[in-house]
Amino acid sequence: MKKTVSVAPMMDCTDKHEIYFLSLISKNVHLYTEMIVANAIIRGDRKKLLSFKKIRNPVALQVGGSKESELAEACKISEQYGYKEINLNLGCPSKKVQKNKFGACLMQEPKLVARCIESMAKATKLPITIKTRIGYNEVEDFEFLKSFIQTTKDAGSQKFIIHARKALLKKLTPKENLNIPPLKYDFVYKLKDFFKNDEIIINGGIKTSEDIKNHFKRVDGVMIGRAIYHSPYFLAEIERKIFGNDNIPTRSEVMEKLIPYIQEETAKGVQLNHIMRHTVGLFHGQNGSRVWKQYLSKNMCIRDADLQKVNHLMDQIKKTKNISLER
């Protein structure tokens, strides 16, 4: 089974603009949309919610919901937009998500989850997958996790993405749930040992290429979230060290390739800041990265930013000796 690196679905982060931006850096990484609620897909602006510029990277749609008919209908609708996979969110711990009965709280109802997956699998030819946690609240037992994954597998899930923390549904905020529950990678490793022929992806706390290599020894792939969102050029290191690809654009070349996309999207009425906010961390760790961030915050990541400022931005950055535009 080919090893994979994926960018995690992150609310208010991995929208269509972020997906295109990241595809300019890495041609091998798998990309996931932020969660889109099934009911929104059915009743909302489908083109706005689901369409994205076609890229070479595989793109998966993550959906949220717990009503079988709505999830099935959302899958049917989404099939025509070019996604390679539909992923059911069983890991988000936020109170808002719990209130609407989807995300990690569904781990408490395996039979309902199974019915949802069965309905989704019948509605589309696309593979159905899940993203979940190792447990919830006081439930942190490998036998429970194994049983839960078996239930989703029997229902039709073809891939299992496991955030190696449990979800504390009542005590912590979503941000705290990303840090406070301890990582238990051994749960995911044991899961792969049991489900030898199934695709098991590990998620949580992965920050370096060495982390990726170490996890590859035990599972089929890794999924990385915040480390890439805050420092997107980490993908260039992954391309070189994990995929052996040295043909990687420099940071300045990434921005130059982004400009035609900006022109296309702003011509459709998209506000410039909706795109440029994703580039804030492009120069993370470089000399003068503060210059980049300050310029963006003052000129580009505001509602009234206009297209002329994009070219001005590149001119200003190229004249600034304090910042490296290269690798």
- Which residues have a catalytic role annotated? 92
- Strand partners of residue 135: 166
> Tokens in use for 130?
């899940």
Return the SS3 of 187. Answer: helix
DSSP 300: I
AA letter at 13:
C
User: How far separated are the first and last CA of the chain, in Å rounded?
Assistant: 31
Distance CA 118, CA 322 (A): 56
Give CB contacts under 8 A, 24+ apart, made by 289-294: 289/323, 291/317, 291/320, 291/322, 291/323, 292/317, 292/323
Distance CA 281, CA 317 (A): 15
- Strand partners of residue 161: 131, 201
> Tokens in use for 7?
């960018």
User: Given the DSSP bridges, would you call strands 30-32 and 128-136 parallel, antiparallel or unpaired?
Assistant: unpaired
The helix-helix angle for 251-267 and 308-319 (nearest 10°) equals 170
DSSP 37: E
Q: Are 135 and 107 in contact (CB under 8 A)?
A: yes
